[in-house]
A and B are shown apart, each in its own frame.
Chain A
Amino acid sequence: MSVLTIERKVLEKNDIIAAANRKLLQSHNLYSINLVSSPGSGKTSLVERTIAACQNKIRIGVIEGDIQTDLDARRVDALGVAVVQIVTHGACHLEAALIGDSLKQLDLPHLELLIIENVGNLVCPSGYDLGENVKVVVVSTTEGDDKPLKYPAMFRNASALIINKIDLLPYLNSSVDDMEKNALSINPALRVFRTSCTSGEGIEEWCEWLQSQISKK
Chain B
Amino acid sequence: MHELSIAQNIIEIVQDHLPEDQKYSVKTVRVKIGKLTNILPDSLVFSFDALTRETNLNGASLEIEHLPLTIECGDCGLQSSGNEFIFACPECGSTSIKIVSGNELMVTEIELND
Contacts and interface: CB of A to CB of B under 8 A. Distances in A.
Contacts of B1: 123-124, 127
B78 interface: no
Contacts of B110: 3-4, 6
Interface in A160-193: 184-188
A152 B108 contact: no
Given A127-B1, A152-B36, A153-B38, A10 B107 contact: yes
Given A4-B17, A6-B13, A127-B1, A152 B87 contact: yes
A123 B38 contact: yes
A187 B87 contact: yes
B4 to A, nearest CB: 11
A173 B38 CA distance: 29
Nearest to A184: B95
B2 interface: yes
A7 B108 contact: yes
Nearest to B19: A4
Interface in B1-39: 1-2, 5-6, 9-10, 13-14, 17, 27, 31, 36-38
Interface string A119-135: 00001101100000000
A10 B6 CA distance: 7
A5 B107 CA distance: 9
Interface in B60-108: 85, 87-88, 95-96, 99, 105-108
A124 B114 contact: no
A78 interface: no
Given A1-B114, A123-B1, A10 B105 contact: yes
Contacts, number: 82
Contacts of A185: 87-88, 95
Given A6-B107, A153-B37, A1 B2 contact: no
Contacts of B114: 1-2
B37 A127 contact: yes
A10 B85 CA distance: 23
Interface string A1-20: 11111111111110000000
Contacts of B106: 6-10
Contacts of B37: 127, 153
A137 B37 CA distance: 17
A126 B10 CA distance: 19
A7 B13 CA distance: 10
B17 A156 contact: no
Interface of A: 1-13, 91-93, 123-124, 126-127, 149, 152-153, 156, 184-188
Given A92-B2, A126-B38, 11 more contacts: A1-B112, A1-B114, A4-B110, A5-B108, A10-B6, A10-B9, A127-B38, A156-B99, A185-B95, A186-B85, A186-B87
